[in-house]
Structure 1
Amino acid sequence: MGQVLHGSATTTEAVRRAIQLREESVRSLAKRYGVSPTTVQKWRKRTSTADARMGPKEPRSTVLTVEEEAIVVCDEHDIEHRLTKVNHPWTNGQVERMNRTIKDATVKRYHYDSHDQLRTHLHLFVDAYNHARRLKTLRGLTPTEFILNAWTKEPNRFRINPSHLIPGPYT
């Protein structure tokens, strides 16, 4: 059965196996198989004769740019994509600080045996943070209280009533 080699391949699995098993010098093996000494050294170091994967590291659309893909994902999930204001780097700093807070309270403090355990703990942490943690920047209110106050003062800024998103006893 034939092998499918990538465009730059200069050896087959049989040649690679022979390179790994023979005890000849690098120069003589390179001459025998018509490859460079570097190729011989590379295959001697490897434990397998399988060809390395040559495709993209991160599969992406061949038509869309990364930015366009993000727009498609946002549209699919009804997310309004907002960018930070120009010359306002502290906004990114706020996001990074929140990411650090979450990381410190979860993965840096506990060991998780599965992604489900992490997901469950993360959900509990975010609920506790949003409903119980009083923040100085919000004048002592919890994030949920702050949002509900903003909704009562300016309901036209919201698409839906945020109080409907608060989990109740039956959720």
Structure 2
Amino acid sequence: MTKSFQPWTNGQVERINRTIKEATTKAFHYTSLEELRSHLRDYYLWAYNSARPLRALKGCTPTGFIVRQWHKPPRYFKDDPGPYFPGTNRNPL
């Protein structure tokens, strides 16, 4: 849902919908809705969070941003977030 009289918000929603569609239904054939849901949950979200730099995070990926925040002073974390993320995001500095 978007706020009234703010067309840029609707444009952002449409852009992310197009990105998801290009990475899923236009690239793969799914035999069921559950197969699409599984692909979104297991693969697409991981790829988006670990491989796509975002302008709002000053060019960091969401995963890299979290790990970078841990390395500043880790006062907001109970434990090291690195093991929760696969790949090479363990030391992004």
Normalised by the shorter chain, which TM-score bucket?
Answer: 0.5 to 0.7
The CA deviation string for residues 82-140 of structure 1, in whole angstroms up to 9 with x for no partner, is x6455321012111101110011001111111222211211210111012222345322
- Please give the root-mean-square deviation of Cα atoms over the aligned residues, in Å: 3.3
1:119 to 15, 34, 37: 37
Distance 1:87 1:136 in 2: 24
Q: State the aligned residue count.
A: 76
SS in 1 for 2:84: coil
State how far apart, in whole Å, the 2-side matches of 1:119 and 1:128 are: 15
The SS at the match of 2:26 is: coil
Structure 1, unaligned runs of 5 or more: 1-82, 156-160
Question: Out of 32, 57, 64, which is 1:138 matched to?
Answer: 57
Structure with max Cα Rg: 1
Specify whether residues 166 and 130 from structure 1 end up closer, same or farther in structure 2 by C-alpha distance, changes over 3 A only.
Answer: farther
Gaps of 5+ in 2: 86-93
Within 5 Å, which residues of 2 pair with 1:30-41?
none
Q: TM-score if structure 2 supplies the norm length? A: 0.59
Give yes or no for the alignment of 1:168 onto 2:51: no
Q: One-letter code of the match for 2:34?
A: D
Instruction: Give the counterpart letter for 2:35 in structure 1.
Output: Q
Identical residues among aligned pairs (%): 53
For the structure 1 residues 118 and 84, does the alpha-carbon distance in structure 2 shift closer, same or farther, using more than 3 Å as the test? Answer: closer
